[in-house]
A and B are shown apart, each in its own frame.
Chain A
Amino acid sequence: MSVMNGFREELIDSLSGINGDLTIYDMDDSKLEEFTNKYPNISFVKNYQERVITSNSNSIEGLLMKSISQNDIYLIPKIKQRLFELQDIEENWVYIGVELAKTLNVKVGEVFSINIPGSSMTILGPVLNSYELIVKGIFNTGVYDYDKYFIYSDINIFNNINSKPIIDVYLDNQEFNFDDLEDYYYETWVDQNKSLAQALTTEKNVMFIILFFIVIISSFTIISNQIFFIKEKFKDIILLKVLGVKQLDIALLFFLNSFIISIFSIILGTILGIILSTNIDSVEKILSGLLNFDLWNNEIRYLSTMPYRIKTADITFIISISLLATLISSYIPILRIFKIKPNLILR
């Protein structure tokens, strides 16, 4: 559950921290200035987007290039978080992700070539316009796709490629009146990642169903152990009854025996769960090594490392369900004790 929560929150945080909480598609500069003045604590990043191709002797990659102004790069939360850059490059710059830098073996300060499909067509397809940019910085968002397929370039070079600018809005938990956008076409990060958002919701529901079944199976184990234990102690139960011990006291003895063991298991399980969650990366590495199988493939999982987020509410919920299941499964078998007749001892 902690890994799922961590994955969910980290992914949402990354998605909104790179592309913005919402994207406005058709806003002119005057209106943008008006919005910037109205919401001074919210970041509005104007950019042009273009599909480009880059290649060198190592690889050929298709990329999404966002052209923005130099200062706006520091308004993108996930980019500014982990950014290594050179200060003295003022123009013709490009920021690339760490995964792309690794693939192409490019370092800061080196030349980075891109090809943009032009409007002129030839018999072989569109003409490619080549540009040579200098890598000013390398960012590491922690999201594999963004670190490999997103680049940020100087808006002064590419502002005429696409006539319509896009505004990425980073709310940073500030109040925003969405009624102000009723004249504009915009999408939230959920709209932009509908399938992903649905998958996350489904994942959470499925996890709860799986958890429920695990608790049910555990309950059956407790019940079967308790029945086995009562059968094993059949003669002792009869003896206690014959010695005048109250049936309720005998039942309570067996109930407490099962319940205390279960409580101990729940405490131990919770502690182990928290320890494993907080060391999930080490656990993943050990298991991957033992199984010789990559358990956390960052190309599939989006995120470079396995995240976790321990939520007190989730832990309380799971403990409550386990306690309830333990109570029920410890109680059901002891009903058999009331059916055992003491006269079976004299035969």
Chain B
Amino acid sequence: MTTVTKYKTTPLKCWQKGKELRLEAYRDLATGHEQGKLMVLGCAATPYGMLAGLGDFVFLAGEPYGASVAADPPVSIPAMETYEARGYARDMCGYMRNFLGTMFQDKYYFTGGPFPKFDFAWSVRHCPAGHPKWHQIVSEYQGIPMNYIDDETMLATDGEQQSRIDYVAGQYLDSIEWMEKITKRKYDDEKGIEAMRNYFINEGLWGEINLLNGAIPAPLDIKSMFALMPISMLRRHEKVAIEFLTELRDELKERIANQIAAVPTERYRMCMLTPPPWSFLKVFRYLENYGVVFVGTYVYLINSGEVKFLYDKGTVVPAIPPEKRPGWKTMKNREDLCRTVAQWRAEHPFQSHLETRKKEYVIMFKHWKANAYLLLINRGCVPMTTSMYDFQRDLNKQGIPTSMFEGNFADCRDIDETGVLDRLETFLEGQGIQKIQD
């Protein structure tokens, strides 16, 4: 046991507002049709602001929904068993298994009532490990049409950038026609452009909020960050999200100026690359007993958030909306909208090549002034585990300490909590970090 100097701490002033906005989004998903809104399903990375051209809508991003279910084992386990009983494999995407399980049970997690019926599924391909298959299953089960944008450009080389953008922009244009046809609604370009402008601003704000955690002491802990993230994840196209995220950003700046810490005993800073095991978020609170604060995770810096990496300088700065970037056009019509979205996504760090990601991981480690990375070998997500040992080796070569554990971000049956804590305790002991005396 050891003692450390404590920083002052206070709860976030905007916490309650954030909580209400989050719940409002989840409630909307249950009552979308009653409110006359279109109900659309897709991946969280989809530029769903474009849907606003069809009128009011509710977008259910499958990943955050799956994560919410996964965080609640008494609901998650029966849901996954329902999914498995239908013959689907247990090694598929963990989010998908939770989502489909509750759909087959006809239980919407946030209300306990019937599972939402969608008008259609529209999504970027996002995750090659099974997300298109996920929406295909929903499409067949609910009898709804689906349309996919093939923009998985991460592995393409820079020389092909322009043809990639043409290819993806063309698909967006086609998909708008497709949406008009299946909904029998006329697409309003202005509304689509306006909502995407909000979307870009919110991405930049969320990225900036993540970057503010480079301050010592960190103004925001990762668990609170996860709780507020659904606003940027699910409501990126709305002005209300801009208002909230601006308020949160300003409050964090105020906390930094006044040295108000998220974790008063902060003395060791860790960050992650991936989502956490959602059923095991208590690990972050437990490690606060050691004075460990988790300052961020790379994946949510660039998924529902955007930043600009300056590779030559080895730094990172907040992203500005595309239309304000040098050489970018102002969106005036549907073609501009589709091209801007395609180009924006092609240049977004979300699409970074794995080798570029290694540089970004180091930049973020330095920006966050972290002491170590916690790495997850995730049995519930193949793409987010791909190259993890390579990443670890690379980080270690650069003198960055890492602790790696095996588990599953969305299946509580697949994580040995005691073993993980033991591993982390061993790692921290090696770093000279002992439990703090109360």
Verify that A and B bind, or say they do not. no
